[in-house]
Amino acid sequence: MNLPEEMDALVLKGVRDFVIETVPVPHPDADEVICKVDTTFICGTDPHIINGDFPGFWPQGFPFIPGHEWSGTVVETGEKADRLGWKEGDRVCGISHCGCGYCSMCLKGRYNECLNYGFEDRGHRQYGHYTPGAYAQYMRTSVKSIYKIPDSMSLEYAACIDPLSIALYTVKRSRLQPGDDILILGTGPQGLMAVLIAKALGAGRIIAVGSGERLKKAEQLGAVPISYKDGDVVQQVKDLTNGLGAPAVLECAGTADSIQQACLAAAKGGVVSVIGIPHTDVPLPMKRIVLDEIEIVGNRANPNTAEEAINLLVNNRVDITSLMTHRFPLKEFATALDIFEKRKDGAIKVATKPNGMSIN
């Protein structure tokens, strides 16, 4: 395919300073492909990157193209990518992490904890965080960070694989067993996807803590709702579980209160699986954690769960349709971001369309 020399992209110039700008279309290295982007969803991390909450880290500098929940079609392949079987026309979804492939963590399959993180000259990438991302008409990506999707799956649907596979990783790391109660604190997109994953993996009761319309959505998806505005969250969980607490707990909100509540509402010997990232370090109830053997597990991204998430969608074990609420052309990103941040009109997953509004 003859690619254009230029493309439209969302370019972050500084803190809360972004424009739609014409930039060069990238070219692939040997193990990379260029994809024509169909859909890029706004992730909860994106506003933090835009607002400068991770200075010098995400991104490392400006100008910068963010975006990492995406799907598209391969339009050009590097020499090695071609030999590995990637070809023009492949329909794919992407994840943000690309490990170097050589360090001890990558060799263990934990490329999300690559020891060469942040060093692109050593082979590491994190797309949309410090490596250019997918709020653009074309996306340059390593083949290590993309997955083929079946023709039966729309590209828009596939753009949710990244967050869905993170939810899957977080639930699996809680060591949930079929029939177990699971407590999910936070009913944003990640928490709601965790509700769907927990249900698919055979949870007994799914208890969700949140508020407002998103808590109602969790209830519609099958969760027992608890509003954190209606009294002591830990006591409400204990009342539901005969005073025992939940053996599996997911912390998806990233606030000091919710992290502490997660530790206190876990059952003895329970696991608290954390995906929410607090802005500052949080005091923990260490006496309870030690004496009741509460395990706290941190989770970063989605190592080795994207293909599993694709299979859950293909086999109708999970349906995320009701979470995909809004769509905008990329040129209306400011409007899309405002709706996402302020949760207007029931916004959950808000999509941008760099190459037009058709749904493929």
How is residue 160 written in tokens?
A: 């949710």
How is residue 72 written in tokens?
A: 């598209």
The span from the CA of 27 to the CA of 33, in Å, is 8
The span from the CA of 68 to the CA of 49, in Å, is 12
Is the separation of the CB atoms in 24 and 6 below 8 Å? yes
- From the list 48, 241, 255, 335, the catalytic residue is 48
Is the separation of the CB atoms in 207 and 183 below 8 Å? yes
22 is catalytic: no
Cα→Cα distances 100→120, 124, 300, 307, Å: 8, 5, 16, 20
Contacts of 321 (CB under 8 A, 6+ apart): 157
The span from the CA of 170 to the CA of 272, in Å, is 10
Contacts of 57 (CB under 8 A, 6+ apart): 130
97 is catalytic: no
Name the E strands within 81-190.
91-94, 97-98, 125-126, 138-142, 146-148, 182-185
Residue type for position 49: I
- From the list 39, 45, 187, 305, the catalytic residue is 45
Q: DSSP class of residue 25?
A: P
Report residue 57: phi and psi, to 5°: -115, -60
Q: Among candidates 278, 302, 251, which has minimal Cα distance to 69? A: 302
Contacts of 360 (CB under 8 A, 6+ apart): 38, 154, 155, 156
Catalytic machinery residues:
45, 48
